[in-house]
Amino acid sequence: MIIGTGFLIVFVLLIAYVYYPNKRPFLTESDWTTHKTPWWQLYYSSKYLCPVRKPARGSELQKLFASDMSPDLNRPEMNNEKEVIIKAVGDLMCRKDLVGKGGETLWDQIGEHVFSGDLCMANMEFAVNPAWRIEKLLRYSVPESYAAPLLGDKRFGRFDCVFLANNHINDSLSAGIVSTCDFLDKMNIRFVGANRTEEESEKFPIFDCNGLKIAVLSYTFSTNGILLEPGFEHGTNLVRFNALKDDDYDPSMIYNHVAIAKKQGADIIIASNHWGVEFEYYPPERIVRRAHDLCECGIDLIIGHHPHIINMSERYRTSDNREAVILYSLGNITSWGLKFTMQKVSEVAEIRIKTGFDNDNKKVTRIGDVILMPVLHTMNKKNGVKYHQLIPVLSTVKKIRGGDKTEYLSAKDKRMLFSAHKEYNKHLIQKAFKYI
């Protein structure tokens, strides 16, 4: 009886903690494979059930992200101004039920928007290796047919570049890294962050978009405890962003790549950083500090992912008066095994780059408006087929309230949309950005 009562008290306290509105994050590197204690796994599970909505106590992060970081409207006008539009999404998680009819509807509602940019990018969160198929909870190595529906749609287009430096690229070891790169070469899709040779590890794509040279870099904090094989340490770009101690964080690889990009004439440098902590809306203070340092070294736009949930974003003014943008986490655009609404919500980012010349005929490049579109991944089963769709949250809720026809949505979809709409507006809207 005493044991039963004690268990009940612990259970009630756990549930109370899970849903406590002022729950704060603990200091952790948040790598499931390196934390074995029941306490940590219990804490992780609590965040999975209900996200941490506030930053750590004593930090200034809530004040920082609530501030007005809008672009400086007093900057001098440019001559012969042009605009380049970058589109970016978060984690593409593989699912076998996207193959065939189930995946044909995936991009119906947002494909025209996602693939309309001058440069369209995404994080590909799995290895493509038909010779070694793995479909576990924390390990993915899949055939080419799994990847194809995620990478584009013949009606709208496809991604120009995918980021491969993430904690799943080494899931089927060097063979998977090589086969993934070979597959993307065959698809004529550029990639960055995975390297078949040491020589490739010093290279990255530079795109020419309407006269603007854009370098794209990619790094990951972890390979989920699966070590890169001896002699193949170059397989992915590892930088321990999540390290608790600064002595364990070495960004020298990034500094080197930035220097190479500048030498090759890049006007804009983008970094895809796989970093951060799962199921928390605010990035840790050390990640923010390291992000600022990377912007100071020359990166103009950071596109973050890994936390499986949207993070706050930031416009950061560097010491040399550039306005950099840090999207700490865009979330999962497609969800694998995650069950709760906000785990199925991501952001499609539209970054508008303006370029022209000043009065001394010197080339000027600036980041203008950043437009964020929250998107919900839905799945409905009909006649034995699971149909997937990516639904824009804000505009679709507006349509429903206005009485527009939305026959493509189930009752469950509508409930999730309204829940996501409420949560997003309450916790994730910021003054520095525009929303659609």
* Domain ranges (residues) in the chain: 2-62, 80-435
Strand, helix or coil for residue 212:
strand
Per-residue pLDDT of the chain (436 residues; tens, 9 = 90+): 566 676 677 677 677 777 878 889 988 887 666 666 787 888 888 999 999 999 999 999 999 999 988 887 778 889 999 999 999 999 999 999 999 999 999 999 999 999 999 999 999 999 999 999 999 888 999 999 999 999 999 999 999 999 999 999 999 999 999 999 999 999 999 999 999 999 999 999 999 999 999 999 999 999 999 999 999 999 999 999 999 999 999 999 999 999 999 999 999 999 999 999 999 999 999 999 999 999 999 999 999 999 999 999 999 999 999 999 999 999 999 987 888 999 999 999 999 999 999 999 999 999 999 999 999 999 999 999 999 999 999 999 999 999 999 999 999 999 999 999 999 999 999 999 999 9
**For residue range 262-297, what is the model confidence (pLDDT) as tens digits?**
999 999 999 999 999 999 999 999 999 999 999 999
Strand, helix or coil for residue 405:
coil
pLDDT of residue 392: 98
The C-alpha atoms of residue 389 and residue 304 are separated, in whole angstroms, by 23
Look up residue 89 and give its two tokens.
Answer: 């999404």
pLDDT of residue 42: 83
Give this prediction's pTM: 0.96
**For residue range 155-199, what is the model confidence (pLDDT) as tens digits?**
999 999 999 999 999 999 999 999 999 999 999 999 999 999 999
Contact 87, 121 (CB under 8 A): yes
Look up residue 188 and give its two tokens.
Answer: 């004529």
Residue 413: CB atoms within 10 A of its CB come to 19
Q: Say which DSSP state 350 is in.
A: E
- Let me know if 40 is exposed, middle or buried by CB neighbors in 10 A (0-12, 13-18, 19+): middle
**CA 42 to each of CA 49, 51, 243, 284, 361: distance values in angstroms, whole numbers, following the listed order:** 11, 14, 21, 20, 59
The C-alpha atoms of residue 174 and residue 194 are separated, in whole angstroms, by 10
The C-alpha atoms of residue 201 and residue 234 are separated, in whole angstroms, by 6
Phi and psi at residue 15, to the nearest 5°: -65, -40
- β-pair partners for 435: 372
- DSSP H helical ranges for 264-381: 285-296
The C-alpha atoms of residue 434 and residue 371 are separated, in whole angstroms, by 5
Beta strands per DSSP E along 358-408: 363-382, 385-392
Contact 147, 115 (CB under 8 A): no
The answer to whether the Cα torsion of 143, 146, 148, 150 is positive or negative is negative
CATH (residue range 80-435): 3.60.21
The C-alpha atoms of residue 168 and residue 136 are separated, in whole angstroms, by 11
